[in-house]
């Protein structure tokens, strides 16, 4: 037993190592995306230009939600994600090359260049996301329903932002999932804002786990963007769902280090806010915890960091080297055959 496990016997350090690797990969992936997105957009910033055009919502700082939940899932469990989907996709094991190619609008992408960054679909690992706030929640309800109908113990997890918890789809889905006792988990990532509107100006309760009692489901709150606390809350929720004990809402206090989208002037938040959040970097925190537990040493962590960089670099290279689709391909795939 490591020192960490002595203190927290319910937590597997191997699993924390997996989480660390995912979080490091996500962080590096998003950092590279900041660069790729900027290409072709200077000196004049124009959202439509460059190798990665369109809107770009990055998840830098929000890694614990994805890693702490996904560590308990397998590829048979379903995940739906919102417009800010890269961290979920990566931790769920979406094909990184095809995902990146999709974001670059290439033929080799998950959707042959038709979907883009907000619309990634990888049925191999049961992952999807979309650009309409809260729309993924009912899809997860349906996946949970299908799992139950098939007699499987698979679960479905809908990730949303705290802003999405004020959409009708959130409330209707929770009632339905509770009524039918479905293996559904909703993870609410509270990054304090829905674009520019602070949570305090959009939400009548302090946190969305408090809403659980209104639907007769379980609720959990993870504060301080803490990876280990997210691990624990998720493990409980997944066990509950797998054992037929119904839905859970987990709200995690998380940090949005970047703008709502790339290019967001962020005039609605204090200049000091982001440096303050960055000082509480969850990846650095977990890294230190792993070192303190004497489970790994510095060189071993560096090896992980090198490995994930290589994997991400290869995915970007694959995307850049891939061809654009033929223009006429725009007419295909409306109906599948």
Partner 1 sequence: METAKKRMLTGNKAMAEAIAQEMENDKNVFVLGEDIGKYGGIFGSTQGLMEKFGPERVLDTPISETAFIGAAIGAAAEGMRPIAELMFVDFFGVCMDQIYNHMAKIPYMSGGNVRLPMVLMTGVGGGYSDAAQHSQTLYATFAHMPGMKVVAPSTPYDLKGMMASAIRDDNPVVFMFHKSLQGLGWMDQLDYAVGHVPEESYTVPLDKANVMREGKDVTIVGIQMMTHYAMEAAERLAQDGIEAEVIDLRSLAPIDKDTIINSVKKTHRLVVVDEDYRSYGMTAEIAAIVSEEALYELESPIKRLAIPDVPIPYSHVLEDFVLPGPDKIVETVKQMMDEA
Ligand X SMILES: Cc1ncc(C[n+]2csc(CCOP(=O)(O)OP(=O)(O)O)c2C)c(N)n1
Contact residues toward partner 1 (CB under 8 A) are 44-48, 53-55, 102, 105-106, 111, 113-116, 118-119, 130-135, 163-164, 166-169, 194-197, 201-203, 263, 267-268, 324-331, 334
The distance of closest approach from Cβ of residue 252 to partner 1 in the complex, given in angstroms and rounded to an integer, is: 19
The distance of closest approach from Cβ of residue 15 to ligand X in the complex, given in angstroms and rounded to an integer, is: 25
The distance of closest approach from Cβ of residue 84 to ligand X in the complex, given in angstroms and rounded to an integer, is: 4
DSSP state of 244: T
- Binding at 55: pick from ligand X, Mg ion, partner 1, none (beta carbon under 5-8 Å per type): partner 1
- As a whole number of angstroms, the distance between CA 163 and CA 142 comes to 22
Q: Does 133 bind ligand X (CB under 6 A)?
A: yes
Among 41, 83, 92, 106, binds ligand X (CB under 6 A): 83
- Binding at 61: pick from Mg ion, ligand X, partner 1, none (beta carbon under 5-8 Å per type): none
The distance of closest approach from Cβ of residue 194 to ligand X in the complex, given in angstroms and rounded to an integer, is: 3
Identify residues 247-266 at the interface with ligand X (CB under 6 A).
260
Sign of CA dihedral 291, 294, 297, 302: negative
Residue number with CB closer to ligand X (103 or 164): 164
**Among 84-92, 95-103, 184-192, 267-275, which window interacts with Mg ion (CB under 5 A)?**
184-192
Residue with tokens 């190592």: 17
Q: Does 34 bind ligand X (CB under 6 A)?
A: no
**Among 188-196, 280-288, 312-320, 323-331, which window interacts with ligand X (CB under 6 A)?**
188-196
Residue number with CB closer to partner 1 (1 or 331): 331
DSSP state of 203: -
Q: Does 191 bind Mg ion (CB under 5 A)?
A: yes
The distance of closest approach from Cβ of residue 254 to ligand X in the complex, given in angstroms and rounded to an integer, is: 9
The distance of closest approach from Cβ of residue 160 to Mg ion in the complex, given in angstroms and rounded to an integer, is: 9
Spatial strand order in the sheet of 127-129: 121-122, 127-129, 78-81, 156-161, 184-190, 248-253, 218-222
Residue 252 phi/psi, 5° resolution?
A: -120, 130
Q: Does 191 bind ligand X (CB under 6 A)?
A: yes
Residue number with CB closer to Mg ion (191 or 322): 191
For strands 156-161 and 121-122, give the pairing: unpaired
**Among 163-171, 220-228, 274-282, 329-337, which window interacts with Mg ion (CB under 5 A)?**
163-171
Residue number with CB closer to ligand X (180 or 261): 261
- As a whole number of angstroms, the distance between CA 233 and CA 69 comes to 8
3-state DSSP call for residue 128?
strand
Cis before residue 43, ω within 30 degrees of 0?
yes
Q: Which long-range contacts (CB under 8 A, 24 or more apart) does 167-176 make?
A: 167/133, 167/134, 168/134, 169/134, 169/135, 169/137, 169/138, 170/134, 170/137, 171/215, 172/138, 173/137, 173/138, 173/140, 173/141, 174/211, 174/215, 174/217, 174/247, 174/249, 175/215, 176/138, 176/141
Largest CA distance in the chain: 61
Spell out the alpha helix ranges (H) of 225-329: 227-242, 273-278, 282-292, 298-321
Q: Does 85 bind ligand X (CB under 6 A)?
A: no
**Contact positions vs ligand X (CB under 6 A):** 83-84, 131-133, 160-164, 191, 193-195, 260
**Contact positions vs Mg ion (CB under 5 A):** 161-163, 191, 194
């Amino acid at each position: 037993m490591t020192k960490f496990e002595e203190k927290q016997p319910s937590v597997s350090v191997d699993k924390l190592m997996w989480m660390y690797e995912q979080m490091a990969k996500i962080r590096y992936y998003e950092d590279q995306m900041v660069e790729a997105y900027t290409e072709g957009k200077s000196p004049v910033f124009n959202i439509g230009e460059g190798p990665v055009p369109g809107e770009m919502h990055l998840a830098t700082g929000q890694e614990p939600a994805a890693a702490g939940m996904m560590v308990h899932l397998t590829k048979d469990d379903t995940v739906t994600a919102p417009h800010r989907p890269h961290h979920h996709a990566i931790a769920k094991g979406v094909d990184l090359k095809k995902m990146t190619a999709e974001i670059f609008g290439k033929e080799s992408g998950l959707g042959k260049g038709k979907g883009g960054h907000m619309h990634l679909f990888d049925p191999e690992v049961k992952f999807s996301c979309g650009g309409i706030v809260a729309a993924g929640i009912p899809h997860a309800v349906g996946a949970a329903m299908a799992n139950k109908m098939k007699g499987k113990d698979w679960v479905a997890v809908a990730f949303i932002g705290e802003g999405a918890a004020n959409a009708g789809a959130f409330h209707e889905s929770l009632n339905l999932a509770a009524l039918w006792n479905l293996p559904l988990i909703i993870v609410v990532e509270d990054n304090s804002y829905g674009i520019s509107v602070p949570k305090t100006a959009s939400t009548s309760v302090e946190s969305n786990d408090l809403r659980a009692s209104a639907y007769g489901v379980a609720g959990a709150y993870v504060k301080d963007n803490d990876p280990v606390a997210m691990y624990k809350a998720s493990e409980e929720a997944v066990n509950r769902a797998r054992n037929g004990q119904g839905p859970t809402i987990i709200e995690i206090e998380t940090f949005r280090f970047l703008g709502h989208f790339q290019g967001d002037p962020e005039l609605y938040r204090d200049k000091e806010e982001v440096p303050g959040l960055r000082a509480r970097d969850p990846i650095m925190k977990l890294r230190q915890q792993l070192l303190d537990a004497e489970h790994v040493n510095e060189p071993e962590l560096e090896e992980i960091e090198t490995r994930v960089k290589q994997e991400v670099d290869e995915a970007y290279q694959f995307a850049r080297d891939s061809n654009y689709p033929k223009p006429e391909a725009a007419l295909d795939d409306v109906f599948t055959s």
